[in-house]
Amino acid sequence: MKTLVIIPCYNEEESILETVRSLEKEKVDYVVIDDGSTDHSLQVLQENHLNYIHLDNNLGIGGAIQTGYKYARNKNYDIAIQMDGDGQHDARYIKELIKPIQQKKANLVIGSRFLEKDPNFKSTFFRRIGIKILSTLYKWITGKTIKDMTSGFRAADRSVIEIFSKDYPYEYPEPVTNLSISHKSIVEVPVQMKKREHGKSSITPWKSMYYMLNVILYFIIIIISRGEDYRA
C-alpha cells in the first residue's frame, strides 16, 4: 500500500533533518509541510533536497496537516501518517501504526502513549487530567474508547484522507477530528514517544487547562450544531 508520512514543520531547523533521516530505514514516502517557518527550516529543506511543500502564510498545525492530506489525496496514497517534525514521534512504530489499516481493521490508527507504560512520557498533572477528562467525555458522547485523545501520531486510510482533505479543523485538530469521524473505525496501538531533543515545549499548566476547556467547548458546539447521534 502506498504510504505517505506528513511532517508539519514550524521552526524546526534543528530537528527536521533528523526526523526525515529516521524515515529512510522505513522505506516510506514523506512530505514536509513548512508552515511559513521564520527560522532556517526552509533553507535546511532546500539544501538537503528533501520533499517539501512551503506555505507562504503560517496556517497553524491544522492548516499544515490538511495540506499534507490534500497532497496525499492528489497523489493517490492509500495511507497517510501524521508525524511531528520535532523528533518526538519514533519512525520505528510506523509498521505497527499501518498494520490495522493494511489488515482492513481500521480507518484511523492512533499511536497511543497510554496503552503501555511509557517511561519517556512525562507530563504535568493538569495535562494528564485534561487528557483523561477528554477521553471520558468522548466515551460519554460516542460510547467508544480513545485513551490518547491528543496524540498527533496517527495513520489514516483512503476514506479518512478524503474526509480530512475536504474538512479539517484548524484548531485542536486531534480531539476534534476523533469526534467528527467517530462513525469510522478508530483503533489505538501502543507507542513510546521520544523526549524532545531540541527547542522547548510550549505547554504550561495554564495552557493545558485552557486547551482542555476549549476542546470541551468545541465538543459541545459541534454536537449541538450538527445534531447528529454520535452513538449511532
Applying CB under 8 A, the residues found at the interface with another protein are 53-57, 59, 63, 66-67, 70-71, 74, 170
How many other CB atoms sit within 10 Å of the CB of residue 84? 18
Minimum distance of another protein from residue 133's CB (angstroms): 28
Minimum distance of another protein from residue 66's CB (angstroms): 7
Question: What's the 3-state SS for 168-223?
Answer: CCCCCHHHHHHHHCCCCCEEEEECCCCCCCCCCCCCCHHHHHHHHHHHHHHHHHHH
Q: Which is nearer to another protein, 8 or 87 (CB)?
A: 8
In 3D space, the residue among 22, 12, 36, 52 whose CA is nearest the CA of residue 200 turns out to be 12
Q: Which is nearer to another protein, 30 or 93 (CB)?
A: 30
The rounded distance, in Å, linking the Cα atoms of 30 and 144 is 31
Q: Which is nearer to another protein, 33 or 212 (CB)?
A: 33
Q: What is the dihedral of CA 213, 121, 12, 179, to 10 degrees?
A: -40
Q: Which is nearer to another protein, 66 or 142 (CB)?
A: 66
Minimum distance of another protein from residue 203's CB (angstroms): 24
Q: Which is nearer to another protein, 95 or 166 (CB)?
A: 166
Minimum distance of another protein from residue 32's CB (angstroms): 11
The rounded distance, in Å, linking the Cα atoms of 32 and 16 is 9
CB 34 within 8 A of CB 7: no
The cell for 96 is 505497527
Minimum distance of another protein from residue 225's CB (angstroms): 13
